[in-house]
Structures are given as structure tokens and as C-alpha cells.
Amino acid sequence: MNIYLPIAEMSVNVFVFLGMGCAVGFLSGLFGVGAGFLLTPLLIFTGIPSAVAVGTGSMPILASSVSGAIAHYRRNSVDIKMGAVLVAGGMVGSLIGVGIVKILRQLGQFDLFVSLSYVTFLGAVGSLMLIESVGTIRRARSGQAPSARKTGQHSWVHGLPFKMRFHRSKLYISAVPPALIGAFVGFMAAVMGIGGGFVMLPAMIYLLRVPTSVVIGTSLFQIVFVMATTTILQAVQNKTVDVVLAFVLIMGSVVGAQFGVVAGARLKGEQLRFLLAAVVLMVCLRLSWDLISRPSEIYSIGPVLGGI
């Protein structure tokens, strides 16, 4: 069954995008990440213009994150205060990101920038998570107790000003690192069309030492608000939010997310991280290949942005 998308201006098969939404929603619920880093490339592979893919991609992430965030909120695994700090930073980052997107698109280097960003961050984060999770799994198998979190441990993060008490995370740290992490993730949401959970999660776990039980819920909380901001900014700035396409993707993703949350509850943290690392690295390899292999067509065409 085909439908015509009013903003993308093309006719597409509904079931392809329902399935895509479902798969991405499942990953979203499973890992607690927006899974936009999969949705955006998938949309572009099916022929959706990349600007529409980035602009529209934030809507299904928002929808699946809302249901996911609520599921976590019910389980009392959201640190609202930490989330608020992350959101405040995220909104600032998103605004800056949108400005940079505009400039890069006019220069014709947006695709390159996106690919390089994806390769760098997915590669780094994926490798780190893979190494860490494999180490944890091995230790667990060999019977050693996993190294417990040292609550009294102090690092440079704890020497910064504006200290706040995050009760739910059992942390008393400066508000500056979470705000910076939020801003960075908001920036990435705007320039890469992703939720940014795959950056926020390790940053919160390893840098802020937020307990794993609260991390996913809190990151979903941040994603909901930053994605809402990004959707509005994309609609106003670029007019690339296709609600028909988004609605089809959402229909699939809300269903997938529910199963993802259930499946996620059955898996151990390190197993989840191992799986996520594998997915992240695969996407990274695919993008690297596109960058370095000789393209079959070295020319590309596009509409003129910002006047002749």
C-alpha cells in the first residue's frame, strides 16, 4: 500500500516504514537510546531526502521515548533533577547545532560532516562499550564479583562549582558536567538527527557515575524534551518535518518500544551494553566504508539553499 508524503514529496510503501519504525522502536526500548543513529541512515537508504530524514526522525524518537520514559518513571528509575539539568544544557546545544547545520548545508559539506561525526563517535563509543562489557562479562563468568561502585571516590568532576544534590542518583556533584553533557547531546541531536542516548549513557555511567538503574530512564527523560525542541526548530528553520511519514514510523515504533522495554528488563546491563556496542560498531563500519570507497557517482545535485 502506497502513500504520498506531503513534505518529502514522494510516494512510499507504508509497510516498509511500519517495519522500520517497529525495529527502531524495539532498539529504543531495549537500550534506552533514541535509536536515531539507525533511523536516520535507514530513512536515507530508502530514498527519503536527508534533510527530511533528519527533520522527521526526531518525531518517532520523541514518541517512543515518551512511552519509554513513562514506563521508566513508573518503575521510579528517572532522576528528574538530573534530567532537568541535562535538558537545560540540551536546549542550548540544539540551538547552536541548528545554526551550524544551516551553514554547513549551504557550503555543501553537511553530509561529510555528518558521516565523519557518526564514524568518530560511533567508533569511539562502540569500542569503549565493547571492551568494557566484554571485560565485565568475563569477570562474571570467572566468578569474580563485579567491582562495586566506590561511593566516596573523588575525581576532577567533583572539584567543580555549583554543586547539587541528586537524591535519586545518590550523587552530590557539580551541575556543570551534566549541563555540558546535555548541551553536547543537544548539539548532536540537531546536527546528526539522533537522540544521543548512546553518548549520554556512557557519559553518565563512566563520567558522572550515575547508577545504571537510573541512567536509562533519565536519558529518556532528556531525549523527550530535547527531541521536542529539535522537532519545532526543524519545522521552523528547515520545514523538513513530514508528519505523515512520522506518523507511520510512530505507529511501528510505539509497538516495538513496548517489546524492547520488556526484553531489556530480562537482560543484564553488560549484555545490553555488549549488544548495543555491536550495533553501533556495525553502523560505524558501514559509514566508514561509504566515506573511503570510491563512489559510483561522484556528482550530486540538490536545491540551492540561501540564495544564488
Instruction: Return the residues of window 17-76 that contact other proteins according to CB under 8 A.
Output: 44, 49-52, 59-60, 62-67, 70-71
* DSSP letters for 122-185: HHHHHHHHHHHHHHHHHHHHTTPPPPPP-TT---GGGGSSSEEEETTTTEEEESHHHHHHHHHH
How many residues bind to other proteins according to rule CB under 8 A?
74
What CA–CA distances, in Å, run from 34 to 62, 129, 182, 294, 295?
8, 17, 14, 31, 30
40, 136, 169, 234: which one binds other proteins (CB under 8 A): 234
- Region near other proteins per CB under 8 A, out of 82-90, 164-172, 180-188, 235-243: 235-243
Q: Applying CB under 8 A, does 145 fall inside the site for other proteins?
A: no
Distance of closest approach, residue 163 Cβ to other proteins, in angstroms: 33
C-beta contacts of 173-178 below 8 A and 24+ residues apart: 173/208, 175/85, 177/207, 177/208, 178/82, 178/85, 178/86, 178/89, 178/204, 178/208
Closest CB to other proteins among residues 112, 282: 112
What is the footprint of other proteins within residues 69-128 (CB under 8 A)?
A: 70-71, 102, 105-106, 108-112, 116
Site for other proteins in 240-279 (CB under 8 A): 240-241, 243-244, 246-247, 250-251, 254-255, 257-258
* Residues between 125 and 144 with contacts to other proteins, criterion CB under 8 A: none
DSSP string for residues in 3-50: EEETTTTEEEEHHHHHHHHHHHHHHHHHHSS--HHHHHHHHHHTT--H
The residue among 242 and 270 lying less far from other proteins, judged by its C-beta, is 242
Nearer to other proteins, 154 or 297 (CB): 297
Q: Which of 167, 239, 263, 268 binds other proteins (CB under 8 A)?
A: 239
Q: How far, in Å, CA of 207 to CA of 176, rounded?
A: 12
Task: Identify which of residues 71 and 205 has a Cβ nearer to other proteins in the complex.
Answer: 71
Scan for cell 533511523, then name that residue.
Answer: 39
CA dihedral (141, 142, 143, 149) in degrees, to 10, reads -80
Residue 305 Cβ, how far from other proteins at the closest point, in Å? Answer: 4
Taking the complex as a whole, the smallest distance from the CB of residue 6 to other proteins amounts, in Å, to: 4
The rounded radius of gyration (Å) of the Cα atoms in the chain is 19
By beta-carbon proximity to other proteins, the closer residue of 171 and 254 is 254
Nearest residue to 202 (alpha-carbon basis) of 287, 133, 285: 133
Q: Which residue from 103, 160, 263, 291 is in contact with other proteins, where contact means CB under 8 A?
A: 291
Q: Which of the ranges 79-87, 138-146, 206-214, 225-233 carries the binding residues for other proteins, by CB under 8 A? A: 225-233
* CA pair distance 209, 172, nearest whole angstrom: 11
Q: Does 232 bind other proteins (CB under 8 A)?
A: yes
